[in-house]
Structure 1
Amino acid sequence: MFVGHALLAFGLATLVADWRGWSARRALTLGLVAGAFAAIPDADMIYTVVALDVSRLSADTLRQPSVFWDASRAIHRSITHSLLISLAAGPAFGAWAAGTSTSRGWLAVRAVASVILLSLIWAAWVYSGLAGAIVVGTFVAAGLVIARLARTRTDLSGLTIALVATAGLLSHPWGDLVTGDPPRLLYPLDLHVFEQTVLLHTDPTVHLLGAFALELAVIWLAALAIARVSGRPLRALFERRALIGAVYGVAAIVLTPPTLEVSYHFVFTILGLGLLVGVFSITANPVTRLLRQQSRLRRHSLARQDAGSLRRSWLTPVSIDLDRFLERYPSPFEAAFAALGGVTVALCSYGAVYVLVVG
């Protein structure tokens, strides 16, 4: 879900900017800034470095990842995932970044923003001790770096950065509702909007497949946003080689059914299959076919010449229609869509076999 948080904000911000008539470059810039802000609430994972019991780490940790996650549960998805914290931090990040001038007005704006951000760190200290202060301090530092880069390296205004920072932060917690302990949406208030994980299905494996499907949908949203602003036709994004993913249905019979607690064997294998589909879509094989085409043309030329012109014939340039070649074979961009399509087909295949045969 770490990637999904950023891509959800990226896709939505890019599409909104495109709807508002922004250029492709500005729309993608806005999306990147939104995605960056949407990722920083997970800066609270820094607490794991302090809380993790290193003595428990072993080869079994990969099979029992609770060793890692248990160390993060005291802080993760609490302070930095709060909607109240986001509503305070987002505008403060934008206001702090907007103060590029040394005038009294801008210095006052930056001072107010600094007071708000320092207050968040102080509040975290009061409610969660030193661990909370470290987590929120890391969160604030990351936000300030992103805000400053957005202000100095793009043409986005301080107000725009404030809005997109707030939107990015507010978009983060919702993907966590189905993947473990629910976030503390109203921290520091002692109110719990969601007491437990939102179940998509009572079967833990089907629930995991549903959560994975939601993540995949978010990635598709980001991919389609890029395709739209770059003017690529949607029909060109669907690669027939993605159907190779259908063979992954066999994994539902062979692999141990995955759950939220133990899912790495499922995640790594299905993503590996998608990667192979993407690589195959490129190397199926434009370079090899081009070389073979050149070789055939040369052999044909040689057959029509006598032995005396043999040496000279290899110097004869071969005419290749580059535009036709690029239209026929996929670019890395299109290969990424092929990989994404392969994962989607694989997920559908796995789900169908699991429900109809295993379940």
Structure 2
Amino acid sequence: MMVGHALLAFALVAGTLSLAGRSRERALSVGLIAAGFAVVPDADMVYALAGLLDANYDSVFSVTEAFWETSTVVHRSVTHSLVVAVPAAVAFGLWTAESRVVRASAAALAVALVTAAHLITGPLAALVMVAFLVSGFVVSSLADSQGKAGPVTVFGAAVVGIWSHPWGDMFTGEPPHLFYPLTDSAVVERVALSPDPTLHLLGAFGLEIATLWLAALVYCHISNISISENVNRRAALGVVYGVAVLAIDPPTLSVSYQFVFSIVAVGILAAVPFSRARFRTRFPGDLSLPDRMTTPEGVLRALLTGLAGLTAALLAYTAAYVLFV
């Protein structure tokens, strides 16, 4: 989901700036800044690492289950608030100012947010607020040093990035606390795409893929690149994944690892170009990338082909599930 959060913010900001007539470089750079801020709310996952201390290490699945169970204690609360996002974005923007006094005011605002979280909710909320703010300041510093973005640009990118984050979370896990600390009752339960838990998962996965396509469309439009000319026909092999409906248990949000790992593997296989002649000449254990993936054009072609293969795999699996399960 973190990739989806980032690419949604990128598409919104870069696409809007492009439509407003800004240069390609400016649209892409500010879009990347917004993408960075879009993943900052998930800094609250740092607390979930505590779950690994008490995890049962009998299997990978038991470890991941302990991780996710611990994450629900504070995840999607103070850092996912549309209310908190505004003063936080102000602090992030002020942090890029040249004046030391202004930067000091950004730090003071951050301290105020941490203090408020502690007084309203408790020390754990203050801890994740610290992680959230530190992550935001890191993105701000990179935006200033690498993207030459000033306070106004950083503020705007931060607001869009953080505000765009919670909506994808409506379909997975606990709903975010959109208006913390004012109220937690805006959304009390997960938005269901289907009463069938498997179809709900497939729908949520489809929304994630649609977000990836949106970002790809925006990037290719801004860069004047044809998507159809950069998708290799091997992406069609993704339809073979439909047979997986007979091999794995129907996935749900609670148990989705086998489905997610296997379908992503299909996308990766579609993305990586290979030839039988080159394969025969490789030494065992040689994991270097093919020559065609060492250029920006080759990387883009691989990503688009992999995304197309992943899309074909999802459509094939969904059709097979509806027809045969």
TM-score scaled by length of structure 1: 0.82
* Map of 2:196 onto structure 1: 203
Alignment-mate amino acid for residue 333 of structure 1? L
- 1:213 Cα offset (Å): 0.3
Q: Secondary structure of the residue that 2:158 maps to in structure 1?
A: helix
Indicate yes or no: 2:99 matched with 1:101: yes
The Cα RMSD (Å) is 2.0
Indicate yes or no: 2:82 matched with 1:89: no
Quote the Cα distance in structure 1 between the aligned partners of 2:252 and 2:113.
36
* Map of 1:66 onto structure 2: 65
2:132 to 126, 129, 139: 139
- 1:59 Cα offset (Å): 3.0
Q: Which structure 2 residues correspond to residues 229-308 of structure 1 after superposition, within 5 A?
A: 229-279=222-272, 282-284=273-275
Report Cα offsets for 1:18-49 as digits up to 9, x if no partner: 11222222221111110100101000011112
1:245–1:342: 8 Å Cα contact kept in structure 2?
A: yes
Quote the Cα distance in structure 1 between the aligned partners of 2:277 and 2:221.
26
2:56–2:62: 8 Å Cα contact kept in structure 1?
A: no
2:6–2:38: 8 Å Cα contact kept in structure 1?
A: yes
Quote the Cα distance in structure 1 between the aligned partners of 2:77 and 2:198.
26
1:82–1:183: 8 Å Cα contact kept in structure 2?
A: yes
1:5–1:171: 8 Å Cα contact kept in structure 2?
A: yes
Quote the Cα distance in structure 2 between the aligned partners of 1:286 and 1:113.
59
2:30–2:147: 8 Å Cα contact kept in structure 1?
A: no
Quote the Cα distance in structure 2 between the aligned partners of 1:43 and 1:26.
27
* Map of 1:14 onto structure 2: 14
- 1:64 Cα offset (Å): 7.4
1:251 and 1:19, CA in 2 relative to 1: closer, same or farther beyond 3 A?
Answer: same
Quote the Cα distance in structure 1 between the aligned partners of 2:277 and 2:188.
54
2:271–2:302: 8 Å Cα contact kept in structure 1?
A: yes
Report Cα offsets for 1:306-353 as digits up to 9, x if no partner: xxxxxxxxxxxxxxxxxxx99xxx822112111100000000000000
Q: Secondary structure of the residue that 2:78 maps to in structure 1?
A: coil
- 1:132 Cα offset (Å): 1.3
Alignment-mate amino acid for residue 86 of structure 2? L
- Identical columns (%): 42
1:119 to 112, 130, 152: 112
* Map of 2:79 onto structure 1: 80
- 1:356 Cα offset (Å): 0.9
* Map of 1:347 onto structure 2: 314
Quote the Cα distance in structure 1 between the aligned partners of 2:299 and 2:167.
31
2:77–2:180: 8 Å Cα contact kept in structure 1?
A: yes
Q: Secondary structure of the residue that 1:200 maps to in structure 2?
A: coil
* Map of 1:220 onto structure 2: 213
Greater Cα radius of gyration, structure 1 or 2: 1
User: Any gaps of 5 or more consecutive residues in structure 1?
Assistant: 289-324
Q: Secondary structure of the residue that 2:22 maps to in structure 1?
A: coil
Alignment-mate amino acid for residue 266 of structure 2? L
Alignment-mate amino acid for residue 283 of structure 1? F
1:64–1:262: 8 Å Cα contact kept in structure 2?
A: no
Report the count of equivalent residues: 310
- 1:16 Cα offset (Å): 1.4
- 1:5 Cα offset (Å): 0.8
1:18 and 1:286, CA in 2 relative to 1: closer, same or farther beyond 3 A?
Answer: farther
Report Cα offsets for 1:265-300 as digits up to 9, x if no partner: 000100101111111xx2247968xxxxxxxxxxxx
Alignment-mate amino acid for residue 87 of structure 1? V
- 1:61 Cα offset (Å): 4.7
* Map of 1:38 onto structure 2: 38
Indicate yes or no: 2:304 matched with 1:337: yes
Indicate yes or no: 2:290 matched with 1:356: no
Q: Secondary structure of the residue that 1:198 maps to in structure 2?
A: coil
Quote the Cα distance in structure 1 between the aligned partners of 2:45 and 2:94.
26
* Map of 2:150 onto structure 1: 157
Between 1:217-226 and 1:265-274, the stretch displaced more is: 217-226
- 1:6 Cα offset (Å): 0.9
TM-score scaled by length of structure 2: 0.90
1:257 and 1:221, CA in 2 relative to 1: closer, same or farther beyond 3 A?
Answer: same
Quote the Cα distance in structure 2 between the aligned partners of 1:128 and 1:285.
60
2:93–2:140: 8 Å Cα contact kept in structure 1?
A: yes
- 1:237 Cα offset (Å): 3.2
Alignment-mate amino acid for residue 337 of structure 1? L
